[in-house]
Structure 1
Amino acid sequence: MVHLRRTLAPYWWPIPRKEGGVWVIRPSPGPHSLAYSLPLALVIRDVLKYAKTMREARYIISRGYVKVDGAVRRDYKFPVGLMDVIEIVPTGEVYRVVPDKDRYYALLPIPTQEASLKLLRVEGKTSVRDGRLQLHFHDGRNLIVPQDVGRQIKTFDTILYDIPNKTIKAHIPLKLGNNVVVTHGSNVGFSGQLYEVVWTLKRRQSVVAIKRGDEVKRTILNYVMAVGIETPVIKIAP
């Protein structure tokens, strides 16, 4: 199905619900699910305000003026989601999709030096031939690594990924004391130190506590991403 009823679109999409018609663009199948992604055309028109109409937004995208994670995307329905890097080619502006307490996901301007870097959360691992391991990430990306490297990286850990070279620049384990950010749920955008983990039979539903100063918030493990040891390794907040 090409379109989606406005009233059924994720609540955080920056679109009017009772104006502009009945329908809105449905994201194409891709690296992020419908609930946690935004079509590229809405990013251009409704978030960055580079276009006033959908026709103008589609023209900008079709001309190859927009890159996502270093690749030109001409599909105006391409799903943009957590930690994706968006580059506007003619202006040189670069943005990262980050969790935000007010807008759920926000586009954060970042320096061009960070345009090639992306945080990826490890969702699982698989053994492949020649004794190597394949890491599966939150954006659908996969990476085959030597066994000694793969064994050090656990599920729910985060890596700092070099997009053009397809290599790991840093490994950030999800452990007590490390800096984390909430990526989903009612506490989205809250960041601080991982303070406590209460493990359950379903690991993804384990309860975690995050502390920032005197403030402590709780969520589930599946909604948390490690972003640094003491501070985030890249810019994820204004």
Structure 2
Amino acid sequence: MGRRGPPKHLKRFASPAFWPIPKKAYTFTVRPVPGPHPIDESIPLLIIVRDILKYAETASEAKKIIKRGEIFVDGRVRREEKFPVGIMDVISIPATEENYRVLPDPIKGLRLHPINKEEATFKLCRIENKTTVKGGNIQLNLHDGRNILIKVTNPTKPEEDVYDTLDTLKIGIPNQEIQAHIKFKEDNQAIIVKGKNRGLYGKIKSIEGPIQREYKTVLLEDYNGNLIRASVEYVFVIGEDKPLISIPTW
């Protein structure tokens, strides 16, 4: 009888290059469970606790910390050591009063950026697509697997539907209340989350290409005046006049 379900093991050589683990020390490493982020765009919680934050020396010690409920992701306790943490997720450790936001890094792929307590109360989510559900209401499907339902008073003329794909929502965590809506348009601030220019950020100068989303490109101007071109799929809007989140300087 063949194996059922997805693979349960992951060799270190096959793990994403940005995971901060020695590739030759051991054969296997922790494999993320299916969750809000794909394996090549996330880091398992165990690796964050042991290898990035250095709260533990072994996987066993890291598991105990996580199982005790000392690690919060987006305002909720996560007791699964294989939980995948990805772009814009907020990690909080009440015992040490530390908070981090996961951001793209030009060299490391992903990094934990320290943030203050106030900034840890919200996160940014990109609208990947939207659908019309029962009653004419609008369901927004976000980049981290969340779904937010927008109530519509008149389905024939949905005035509440002001959201477009690739727009960004500032939502409170863990209540998921929409606090702000940032349009994907020229002159807004954005950060590149994939590709060779991952982690670079600046102002959107132009959006070019045909109607089809997969063929569109964005011309971004960073704060040094350099122009960067990237696919719209790689660009994440983070503010209007200025970013809503703190950004590390490279």
1:221 matched to 2:232? The reply is yes
Distance 1:104 1:64, change over 3 A: same
1:55 is paired with a residue whose SS is: helix
Deviation at 1:151, TM superposition (A): 2.1
Q: Aligned residues, how many?
A: 237
1:44 is paired with a residue whose SS is: helix
2:145 is paired with a residue whose SS is: coil
TM-score scaled by length of structure 1: 0.95
Tell me the distance in 1 between the aligned counterparts of 2:52 and 2:160. 38
- The aligned residue for residue 235 of structure 1 is 246
Tell me the distance in 2 between the aligned counterparts of 1:154 and 1:228. 16
CA contact (8 A) 1:117 1:162 kept: yes
Letter in 1 for 2:77: V
Tell me the distance in 2 between the aligned counterparts of 1:91 and 1:69. 17
2:92 is paired with a residue whose SS is: strand
- The aligned residue for residue 155 of structure 2 is none
Give the superposed CA RMSD. 1.4
- The aligned residue for residue 19 of structure 2 is 13
Deviation at 1:201, TM superposition (A): 5.5
TM-score scaled by length of structure 2: 0.91
Letter in 2 for 1:226: V
Tell me the distance in 2 between the aligned counterparts of 1:149 and 1:34. 38
Structure 2: unaligned runs, 5 residues or longer: 1-6, 153-157
- The aligned residue for residue 57 of structure 2 is 52
Q: Deviations over 1:37-80 (max 9, x none)?
A: 11000000111111111111111001111010111111100000
Distance 1:50 1:25, change over 3 A: same
Q: Deviations over 1:194-231 (max 9, x none)?
A: 11222235413412110024201111000000000021
CA contact (8 A) 1:179 1:194 kept: yes
- The aligned residue for residue 68 of structure 2 is 63
CA contact (8 A) 2:150 2:161 kept: no
CA contact (8 A) 1:85 1:97 kept: yes
Distance 1:125 1:53, change over 3 A: same
Question: What pairs with 1:14-53 in structure 2 (closer than 5 Å)?
Answer: 14-19=20-25, 21-53=26-58
Question: What pairs with 1:123-142 in structure 2 (closer than 5 Å)?
Answer: 123-142=128-147
2:220 is paired with a residue whose SS is: strand
Tell me the distance in 1 between the aligned counterparts of 2:93 and 2:140. 30
Deviation at 1:107, TM superposition (A): 0.4
Tell me the distance in 2 between the aligned counterparts of 1:149 and 1:79. 36
Identity of aligned residues (%): 42
Q: Which residue, 136, 146, 171 being the options, matches 2:181?
A: 171
1:151 is paired with a residue whose SS is: coil
- The aligned residue for residue 186 of structure 1 is 196
1:156 matched to 2:166? The reply is yes
Q: Deviations over 1:175-206 (max 9, x none)?
A: 01100000111100100011122223541341
